[in-house]
Homo-oligomer: A and B are copies of this chain.
Amino acid sequence: MIQSTEILNNARKRAVILLSGGMDSATCLAIAAKDNYECYAISFNYGQRHEVELACAKRLAYVYGAIKHLVIDVDMRRIGGSALTADIDVPKHRAIDPAVDVQAADIPITYVPARNTVFLSFALSWAETLKASDIFIGVNALDYSGYPDCRPEYIAAFEQMARLATAEPALKSLNIQTPLATMRKKDIVNEGLRVGVDFRLTHTCYDPVESPEVENSEDSASPTVMACGTCDACSLRQKGFLEAGIDDPIAYA
């Protein structure tokens, strides 16, 4: 009458979760875990300015019980074209107009060419190896900073392409899951709280600064860098917490 853990595990569907270490992907991971997926987290070291994200991703993968956390090196600086990877200043103090959060006026310089396509392609490759049925990505079509590769029509086209790309029968019906697609940032804060995200473990800023006090803290969740508080990503995050009426637990410069 004993059922082995392996047999029970085999009944669980597998999902690959794109995990940047930010609040959106952390919420995606927690949703997938709560939905009883076997979670395989994938992060990218792509020459981003904000390497602290990877430290956050590692902790999040552990906390939410990912079976494995894979960090792939992809040097997108060789290709260039973005303030996040090249020697271009990250824009600061851009007004985030609360009345205009459906679509940003233009594509910001922090856009990395085809970044989500590259990341989803690696996730697809791993999904095929794992015979995973789902890929989770925390894109958001509302408070989305104007990136073209966050739109639902883009995600649908990637899913269609992915189903044709692979040799694995399990992937012929692959789902690209975007549970945050139609949420505003404040809804993501609330959804995160619902599924138990510890927002202290997440990081969002495009241009973090060294923490002025790098003392040994008793709180292991404290980061040694602080968010700048003025880039687009910080502005969107702060607006989300403000509108949700929740205190943002991370430190700002």
The residue from B79, B111, B148 contacting A122, defined by CB atoms under 8 A apart: B79
Beta-carbon contact of A121 and B129 below 8 Å: no
Decide: B154 and A157 in contact? CB cutoff 8 A. no
7 shortest A-B CB distances, which residue pairs?
A113-B128, A114-B125, A157-B161, A81-B129, A107-B167, A121-B121, A154-B164
Task: Write the nearest CB–CB distance from A121 to chain B, whole angstroms.
Answer: 4
The answer for the CA separation of A209 and B111 in the assembled complex, in Å, is 44
Interface centre among A107, A116, A148, A161 (most CB of B within 10 A): A161
Q: Shortest distance in angstroms between A215's beta carbon and chain B's nearest beta carbon? A: 36
Give A76 to B129 CA distance when docked, in angstroms. Answer: 11
Let me know if B167 and A147 touch, CB within 8 A: yes
Given contacts A72-B78, A75-B73, A161-B154, contact A166 B125 (CB under 8 A): no
A162, CB-defined interface residue at 8 Å: yes
Nearest CB on B from A145, distance (A): 11
Q: Which residue of B lies closest to A73 (CB)?
A: B75
Q: How large is the interface on A (under 10, 10 to 19, 20 to 34, 35 or more residues)?
A: 35 or more
Chain A 102-115 near chain B by CB (<8 Å), digits 1 or 0:
00000100011111
Question: Does A78 contact B70, Cβ atoms closer than 8 Å?
Answer: yes
Question: B160–A161 contact, CB under 8 A?
Answer: yes
Q: Are A125 and B160 in contact (CB under 8 A)?
A: no
Q: How far is the CA of A78 from the CA of B167 in the complex (A)?
A: 19
- Does A114 lie within 8 Å of B118, measured CB to CB? no
Q: Does A74 contact B (CB under 8 A)?
A: yes
By the criterion CB–CB under 8 Å, are A113 and B148 in contact? Answer: no
Could you say which residues of chain B place their CB within 8 Å of the CB of A113?
A: 124-126, 128-129, 166-168
Give which listed residue, B73, B76, B81, B161, contacts A117 with CB less than 8 A.
Answer: B161
